[in-house]
Chain A
């Protein structure tokens, strides 16, 4: 069974204080690893898709990286508007379904 574990559960940062979120996964064969951002009371917003180990993608202050066992979401010089829950999900090669982690809730204080 596919498993996705995210850590830490919660992260409190000062504005400008860079940090990383971890997503560890177990999947029979990885079709893709996805990062989403979810604001309170809203649906997840797509951020990145990573397909193979060594791949990196960036968007503004966010950078996602992938190894064979885990993915990191790096937040560089975060701003209060980066406060959200960040969800990681994997899709196996033999299925279209996504398995989600529990998320990391990031709070950035001004």
Chain B
């Protein structure tokens, strides 16, 4: 399967600051990738779909001005949490679709804690 990396693996920040999370596909190029959020004891919730070279599509209830997504190349997408607040503390996971998007391969996740 595809190999996906995320950086950083965990981050602690103060309320009001911005945090950038990187997601890279290491062994293939993908025009589309996905960002998910997972709260403790809950399943993955899709936040947005990112297409290389164009604007991301956000799911209902996700603030596009707060969660900035940049998909600048076929192997790199970034998620920036702007003006983070404690309620943004969560596990953020990216994924790439491979094989005609038949299968999504996930990164290892980034744990964000906002104090």
Contacts and interface: CB of A to CB of B under 8 A. Distances in A.
Q: Which range holds the interface residue count of chain B?
A: 20 to 34
A49 B108 CA distance: 20
B43 A45 contact: no
Nearest to B10: A41
Contacts of A36: 106
Interface in A23-55: 32, 34, 36, 41-46, 49
A41 B10 CA distance: 10
A103 B109 contact: no
B108 A42 contact: yes
Contacts of A44: 44, 93, 106
A87 interface: yes
B61 interface: no
A49 B97 contact: no
A87 B44 contact: yes
A43 B1 contact: no
Contacts of A34: 103-104
Contact of A97 (B4, B42, B49, B111): B49
B102 interface: yes
Interface of A: 32, 34, 36, 41-46, 49, 87, 96-98, 100-103
21 contacts: A34-B103, A41-B109, A41-B111, A42-B108, A42-B109, A43-B6, A43-B106, A43-B107, A43-B108, A44-B44, A44-B106, A45-B106, A49-B102, A87-B43, A96-B49, A96-B101, A97-B34, A97-B46, A97-B49, A100-B43, A102-B43
